[in-house]
Amino acid sequence: MQGEELDLSAIVKDVQMRKSISIRKFWDVLFSFVALSFLILGLAILLLLIFQLFVDGRGLLFSWSFYTSFPAPNAAEAGILSAFVGSLFVICVTVLFAIPIGVAAGVYLEEYAKSSSSPAVRILTDFIEINITNLAGVPSIVYGLLGLEIFKETFKLGNSVLTAGMTLGILVLPVIVVTTREALKSVPSTLKEGSIAIGASKWQTIWDLILPASIGSILTGVIVSVSRAIGETAPLITVGALTFIAFLPPLPFSDRFAPDPQTGELVRAGQYGLFDWLFSGYTVMPIQMFDWVGRPNPEFRVNAAAAGVVLVLLTLVLNSAAIFLRIYFRRRIKW
Amino acid sequence: MRSTVFKFAAAALTVSTVASFAPAQAQQAISIDGSSTVFPILEVAASEFQKNSGGIRVTVALSGTGGGFRKFCNGETDISNASRPIAAREIEACNKNGTRYIEMPIAFDGLAVVVNPQNTWARDLTSAELKRVWEPGSKLNNWSQVRQGFPNVPLRLFGPGTASGTFDYFTEAIVGKSRSSRTDFTASEDDNVLVQGVSRDRGALGFFGKAYYNENKTRVRAVAIVNESGRAVLPTDQTVSDGSYNPLSRPMFIYVSERSAKRPEVRRFVTFLMNSAPSLVKKADYIPFTRSQYSQILTIFNRNRVGTVFGGKNQVGVRISEILSRSAQ
Report the pLDDT averaged over residues A248-254.
82
Handedness of CA B251, B41, B28, B262 (dihedral sign): negative
Q: Is A21 on the interface with B (CB under 8 A)?
A: no
pLDDT at B20: 41
* Strand, coil or helix: B148: coil
Interface contact A96-B214, CB threshold 8 A: no
Tell me: do B24 and B117 sit in the same domain. Answer: no
Tell me: do B148 and B173 sit in the same domain. Answer: yes
- Taking CA atoms, what residue in A is nearest to B40? A73
Tell me: do B23 and B134 sit in the same domain. Answer: no
Is residue A228's pLDDT more than 90? no
Q: Is A162 on the interface with B (CB under 8 A)?
A: yes
Higher pLDDT, B282 or B316: B282
Report the pLDDT averaged over residues B137-157.
93
Tell me: do B197 and B279 sit in the same domain. Answer: no
pLDDT at A4: 55
pLDDT digits (tens, 9 = 90+) for B160-169: 887 777 888 8
**Structural domain boundaries in chain A:** 67-245+281-332, 251-278
Tell me: do B228 and B142 sit in the same domain. Answer: yes
What is the distance between the alpha carbons of residues B176 and B317, in angstroms, rounded to a whole number? Answer: 12
pLDDT at B266: 93
Query: Which chain A residues are within 8 Å of B42, Cβ to Cβ?
Result: 244
Q: The CATH number of the domain where B77 resides is what?
A: 3.40.190.10
pLDDT at B243: 84
In angstroms, what CA-CA distances link B58 with A46, A86, A244, B102?
39, 16, 8, 19
Q: Which CATH architecture has domain A67-245+281-332?
A: Orthogonal Bundle (1.10)
Q: Alpha helix locations (H) across A186-295? A: 189-197, 202-205, 211-230, 234-238, 285-293
Side-chain half-sphere exposure of B280, counting CA atoms within 13 A: 26
205-244 of B, contacting A, C-beta below 8 A? 209, 211-212, 214-216
Query: Which chain B residues are within 8 Å of A270, Cβ to Cβ?
Result: none
Is residue A119's pLDDT more than 50? yes
Is residue B26's pLDDT more than 80? no
Interface contact B192-A294, CB threshold 8 A: yes
Domain span at B73? 2-108+250-328
Tell me: do B126 and B160 sit in the same domain. Answer: yes
Report the pLDDT averaged over residues B52-62.
85
Mind telling me how many Å the CA of A77 is from chain B's nearest CA? 11
> How far is the first Cα of chain B from the last one, in angstroms, to the nearest whole number?
69
What percent of chain B has pLDDT above 90?
Answer: 59
Tell me: do B228 and B264 sit in the same domain. Answer: no
Is residue A5's pLDDT more than 70? no
Give the H or E element holding residue B39. helix B39-51
Tell me: do B314 and B210 sit in the same domain. Answer: no
Is residue B4's pLDDT more than 70? no
Domain count, chain B: 2
The two beta strands, B221-222 and B101-115, are: antiparallel
Q: Is A298 on the interface with B (CB under 8 A)?
A: yes
- Chains A and B form CB pairs within 8 A to the count of 143
Interface contact B19-A155, CB threshold 8 A: yes
A136 pLDDT tier (thresholds 50, 70, 90): confident
Mind telling me how many Å the CA of A32 is from chain B's nearest CA? 40
Interface contact A259-B28, CB threshold 8 A: yes
Interface contact A162-B18, CB threshold 8 A: yes
pLDDT digits (tens, 9 = 90+) for B221-274: 999 999 988 999 999 988 998 888 988 988 899 999 999 999 988 999 999 999
Minimum-distance CB partner of A73 among B22, B44, B215 = B44
Report the pLDDT averaged over residues B318-323.
82
- Please answer whether residues B45 and B272 qualify as being in contact, where contact means their C-beta atoms are separated by less than 8 angstroms: yes
- Mean of the per-residue pLDDT values for chain A? 87
What is the side-by-side strand order in the sheet with B224-226? B124-126, B224-226, B232-233
Minimum-distance CB partner of B29 among A240, A261, A281 = A281
Query: Which chain A residues are within 8 Å of B264, Cβ to Cβ?
Result: 259-264
Tell me: do B64 and B164 sit in the same domain. Answer: no
- Please answer whether residues B68 and B42 qualify as being in contact, where contact means their C-beta atoms are separated by less than 8 angstroms: no
Is residue B49's pLDDT more than 80? yes
Query: Which chain A residues are within 8 Å of B59, Cβ to Cβ?
Result: 242, 244-245, 281
Minimum-distance CB partner of A158 among B23, B42, B61 = B23
pLDDT digits (tens, 9 = 90+) for A159-168: 899 999 999 9
Tell me: do B119 and B230 sit in the same domain. Answer: yes
pLDDT digits (tens, 9 = 90+) for A53-94: 999 999 888 889 999 999 988 888 899 999 999 999 999 999
Higher pLDDT, B55 or A62: A62
pLDDT at A334: 66
Interface contact A297-B25, CB threshold 8 A: no
pLDDT at B17: 45
Interface contact A215-B1, CB threshold 8 A: yes
Report the pLDDT averaged over residues B26-52.
86
Tell me: do B116 and B237 sit in the same domain. Answer: yes
pLDDT at A34: 96
Is residue B10's pLDDT more than 60? no
A72-A73-A77-A80 Cα dihedral, nearest 10 degrees: 40
- Please answer whether residues B173 and B248 qualify as being in contact, where contact means their C-beta atoms are separated by less than 8 angstroms: yes
Query: Which chain A residues are within 8 Å of B211, Cβ to Cβ?
Result: 296
What is the distance between the alpha carbons of residues A286 and A230, in angstroms, rounded to a whole number? Answer: 8
- Whether this model's ipTM surpasses 0.95 comes out as no
Interface contact A100-B9, CB threshold 8 A: yes
What residues have CB less than 8 Å from A8, skipping those under 6 apart?
none
Is residue B140's pLDDT more than 80? yes
Strand-pairing partners, residue B226, are B126, B232
B100 pLDDT tier (thresholds 50, 70, 90): very high
165-194 of A, contacting B, C-beta below 8 A? 166
Tell me: do B311 and B197 sit in the same domain. Answer: no
Interface contact B190-A155, CB threshold 8 A: no
Q: Is A71 on the interface with B (CB under 8 A)?
A: yes
pLDDT at B200: 93
Interface contact A212-B1, CB threshold 8 A: yes
